Structure 1
C-alpha cells in the first residue's frame, strides 16, 4: 500500500471507526421516521371510500419486466373483506379485468388498515395519464375511479 495512504489511515483510524459506528443510527432514524408524499383526495367507488398515497415521487421502476409505481390505498369507508379483487393501473384508460387478471402486477394486497399495490405504469408519466382503481365485489359488481396525476409525478 502507498505510504501516504497508510499514514492517513493510521492518523484517522479512530475517526473512521467512529463514523462507521454512527452511520447505522442515521439510517435507523430514517427508517423509523419515513417521509411520504401527501394522501390524495378521497373518492367514492361503490360502497367504498378510498384515497391513494404514492410511497415516493420517483418515476416508475422496472419490476419483473414491467414498470410499476408503488401506492398505499387507504379505505375510510367499506370493508376490504367485501372485495373479491382490486387493481391499480396508471394510463390513459382503466384496463379491463380480463387484462388485469393475466398477470400478478397491479393487484391490491394488505389488511383492513390499508392496501398496498405495485401499480402497473408506463415507463414515463405524462399529463394524459391518470391513476385508475378497479374494484370487483363478491356479487360481481365492478367499479372504476381515477385520479389526476400531480405535477410532481409527471416525468414527461
Structure 2
C-alpha cells in the first residue's frame, strides 16, 4: 500500500505541473483577458489638445467613504515638454490651489483619481486645468455625463 501511495503521489504531482498549460497562451498574450468598454473624449485646453479616457464603470467607493473615478489624460507628444501639470476636478475651480486632482504617471498618459459627489444633479462639469512651464493656466470643461460612465 505504501509503495502504491508513493507512486501515486509522484504521478499526481506531475499532473499538477501540466494543469496550467492550457492557460499559458492567454497569460502571455498582449491583450488583457477582460477590459471594460472605454469612453474617450477630445478636449482643447487652451493650445493643448488632449484626450480624456475612462472605463465605462461606476465610480468606486474608497475606504474614506468618497466616490472616486479614474481618468487618463493623453497628451500629444509634441506638447509634453510644454505641460507642467494637469488637474481634474468636478466643478469649476476657484484658483490654481483648488484646481483638483493632479495627474501623475507617464508623460504620454497621465492618470488622475477625481472625487465625485454622492448626489449628482446632471449639470456637473468636469474641469481640466493645465499649467504650462511659462506659468500660463488653461482651462476647459465638458459635461460630466459625457465622460462619466457606469451607473450614477
Q: For this structure pair, what is the TM-score category when the shorter chain's length is used for normalisation? A: 0.5 to 0.7
Work out whether residues 68 and 120 of structure 1, in 8 Å CA contact, stay in contact via their aligned partners in 2.
Answer: yes
Work out whether residues 57 and 153 of structure 1, in 8 Å CA contact, stay in contact via their aligned partners in 2.
Answer: yes
DSSP 3-state at the match of 2:76: strand
Pick closer, same or farther for the CA change 1:51–1:139 going to 2, 3 Å: same
* RMSD across aligned positions (CA): 3.4
Pick closer, same or farther for the CA change 1:95–1:43 going to 2, 3 Å: same
DSSP 3-state at the match of 1:98: helix
Work out whether residues 59 and 67 of structure 2, in 8 Å CA contact, stay in contact via their aligned partners in 1.
Answer: no
Query: What TM-score, normalized to structure 1?
Result: 0.64
DSSP 3-state at the match of 2:38: coil
Work out whether residues 37 and 53 of structure 1, in 8 Å CA contact, stay in contact via their aligned partners in 2.
Answer: no
Query: What TM-score, normalized to structure 2?
Result: 0.66
State how far apart, in whole Å, the 2-side matches of 1:78 and 1:63 are.
39
Pick closer, same or farther for the CA change 1:78–1:127 going to 2, 3 Å: farther
1:124-135 superposed matches below 5 A = 124-135=119-130
| Pairwise CA distance, 1:108 | 0.6
State how far apart, in whole Å, the 2-side matches of 1:132 and 1:154 are.
21
Work out whether residues 87 and 119 of structure 1, in 8 Å CA contact, stay in contact via their aligned partners in 2.
Answer: no
Work out whether residues 88 and 127 of structure 2, in 8 Å CA contact, stay in contact via their aligned partners in 1.
Answer: yes
Q: 1:108 matched to which residue of 2?
A: 103
Runs of 5+ unmatched residues, structure 2: 1-15
- Structure of larger gyration radius: 2
State how far apart, in whole Å, the 2-side matches of 1:77 and 1:55 are.
23
